[in-house]
Amino acid sequence: MTKTACDPLLPRNASPGRPKDLEKRAAILDAAKRLFPEQGFDGTSMDAIATAAGVSKLTVYSHFNDKESLFIEAIRDRCDEQLPVSMFDAAVSGDVSDQLMPIARAFFGLVASPPSIAMHRLLTAGTKTSDKLARLFWKVGPVRAQEGFACFLQRADEAGKLQVADPMRAASQFFSLLKGELHLQMTMGCCEKLSDAMIEEHLVATVDTFVRAYQRR
Amino acid sequence: MTKTACDPLLPRNASPGRPKDLEKRAAILDAAKRLFPEQGFDGTSMDAIATAAGVSKLTVYSHFNDKESLFIEAIRDRCDEQLPVSMFDAAVSGDVSDQLMPIARAFFGLVASPPSIAMHRLLTAGTKTSDKLARLFWKVGPVRAQEGFACFLQRADEAGKLQVADPMRAASQFFSLLKGELHLQMTMGCCEKLSDAMIEEHLVATVDTFVRAYQRR
DNA sequence: GTGATGCTATACTGGCCGGTATAGTAATCA
DNA sequence: TGATTACTATACCGGCCAGTATAGCATCAC
């Protein structure tokens, strides 16, 4: 029997000619995901992206309609990647502070990472483009994390470890405290050194304050 | 007697020709202070500033060396203007929460104002130029406010109203809580509506949490 | 093979912008 | 009055960039 190269069960490639190279598309997207956060929207030229991807500029335009489309896809990808999968599904047991500390470390490590800082800058740049993105990011980023952590807090409340009337607000407060002035300094780029000891001290103080505010009374 | 126009007691105008028009300089600076926050550094052209100031572009360059110099002077001016003069000098008396609420309202009103948001965006833009500025802003802005509030907290501690072991950290935490996710949403530009009721609710919850964490025990 | 399409290289258009040049007018001093 | 300087208007330079055009080569389906 003749094994036709075009399996009718697979998604039919409508166009007869040479198919687009998906690896090139990925390379372009990778370059965009790296360059946009590094240099901003205005600061990143399509030529630079094409060069970084090892591809001609026209190829970039054949895969993506224009600069804005590419930007949006790149940022959306980054959001998905950085989303912590399941950080809050631990059962409530033992000392609450001991359970909060790893969560605090993970969250701070996430938002304080250079890609997250770069991301944050892009989203707060106030561009027309970044507005649509910000709404999208808000749903898949902060909101999802808050819901997960609020869930954990509710379980802690039910287990009698904490007293949390409004878990979503408490979760939001916890994350705000965690970011704190350190995160602000980082986004501004005027962070002196930020030793690990300082960070750990900050995390401990944050968990401490949070537990004092929401301890059972 | 002849009243010479050149009073030797006044600062001597070294140059013989026509003096620079200080009003024009002020107009340029005003335009820059308005346009830079609105449109960012890259997004604001020197032509636009000259036009907005009702002045020729060359006059702009005669008063300011280049775009970066103008940017720095404009932002520095804004920082000085928005600095809250003395917000924390109230004596500690009566219910602490009642004293914290006006501070919370004032601080939130300040950082949530459109000029502050625009300012914040500029400082976190990550430009080479904004780095120097951020350090400068850090001293005259957040640090000064934290010192003032930390002073208030220390007095509250000494009066037995609160129990604050580390006033500076507590002050930082209070401000972080106050900004919270609302401020983040604003800087991203995806704030839905933000009714006054929501804001007041947020402020009350913040003060409440803060007092619970730092109440005397 | 044939035809259709993807990719590359290069060059180009049109526009914006930072900064400069020129030439003329206005204001101030001696 | 004359010298000097500020200011305006306009034009220009050089550079960067988004996006397009052209022409040739590469790769796929049939």
* Position B136 confidence tier, pLDDT thresholds 50, 70, 90: confident
Q: Average the pLDDT over B116-121 and give the result.
A: 88
Lowest mean pLDDT among A22-36, A81-95, A141-155, B173-187: A81-95
pLDDT of A13 over the 50 cut: no
Distance in Å from C18's C1' to B142's CA comes to: 34
- State the pLDDT at residue B10: 36
Given pLDDT bands bounded at 50, 70 and 90, which one contains residue B209?
very high
Least confident of A40-54, A141-155, B73-87: B73-87
Higher-pLDDT residue of A34, B129 = A34
Task: Pick out residues whose CB falls under 7 Å from strand C.
Answer: A 15-21, 24, 54-59, 62-63; B 4-6, 13, 16-19, 44-48, 57-58, 61, 66-68
pLDDT at A9 over 90: no
Q: Which segment of A91-95, A211-215, B109-113 scores lowest on mean pLDDT? A: A91-95
Among A169, A181, A188, the residue with its CB nearest the CB of B205 is A169
Could you tell me the pTM of the whole model?
0.82
Structure tokens at B192: 């839905």
Answer yes or no: is pLDDT of A16 > 60.
Answer: yes
Interchain proximity A189–B131, CB inside 8 Å: yes
**In B185-197, which positions are buried (b, 16+ CB within 10 angstroms) versus exposed (e)?**
bbbbbbeeeeeee
Q: Measuring CA to CA, which residue among B66, B149, B38 is closest to residue A126?
A: B38
| β partners of residue B162 | B215
B79 falls in which pLDDT band (50, 70, 90)?
Answer: confident
User: pLDDT band at residue B85, thresholds of 50, 70 and 90?
Assistant: low
Please write the tens of the pLDDT for every residue from A54-95.
Answer: 999 999 999 999 999 999 899 888 877 876 656 787 777 889
Best mean pLDDT range from A6-20, A149-163, B117-131: A149-163
Is B97 in CB contact (< 8 Å) with chain A? no
Q: With an 8 Å Cβ cutoff, is B192 touching chain A?
A: no
Q: Mean pLDDT throughout B81-109?
A: 83
Q: Nearest nucleotide by C1' from A70 CA? A: D18
CA dihedral A77, B41, B37, A175 (to 10 degrees): 30
Q: Please give the backbone phi and psi of residue B130, each rounded to the nearest 5 degrees, phi first.
A: -75, -15
Instruction: Please give the Cα distance from A146 to A164 (Å, whole number).
Output: 14
Q: Whole-angstrom Cα distance, residue A96 to residue A155?
A: 11
Cβ within 8 Å, pair B173-A177: yes
Residues A173-204 have pLDDT tens digits of 999 999 999 999 999 887 667 889 999 999 99
pLDDT the model gives residue B3: 33
pLDDT of A10 > 60? The answer is no
What does DSSP assign to residue A20?
Answer: P
**Poorest-pLDDT segment among A6-15, A165-174, B34-43:** A6-15
Lowest-pLDDT range, A98-107, B72-81, B193-202?
B72-81
Nearest to A184 by CA among B172, B109, B203, B206: B172
Cβ–Cβ below 8 Å for A184 and B142? yes
pLDDT of A180 = 96
Separation of alpha carbons A178 and A102, rounded Å: 12
**Whether A25 CB is under 7 Å from strand D:** no
Q: A124, A142 in Cβ contact below 8 A?
A: no
Which pLDDT value is given to residue A138?
83
Q: How far is B115 from chain A (nearest CA, A)?
A: 13
Task: Answer for B14: CB within 7 Å of strand D.
Answer: no
Average pLDDT over residues B167-193: 91
Write the pLDDT tens digit of every residue in B3-57: 333 333 334 445 677 888 899 999 999 999 999 988 888 899 999 999 999 999 9
Chain B nearest CA to A146, separation (Å): 11
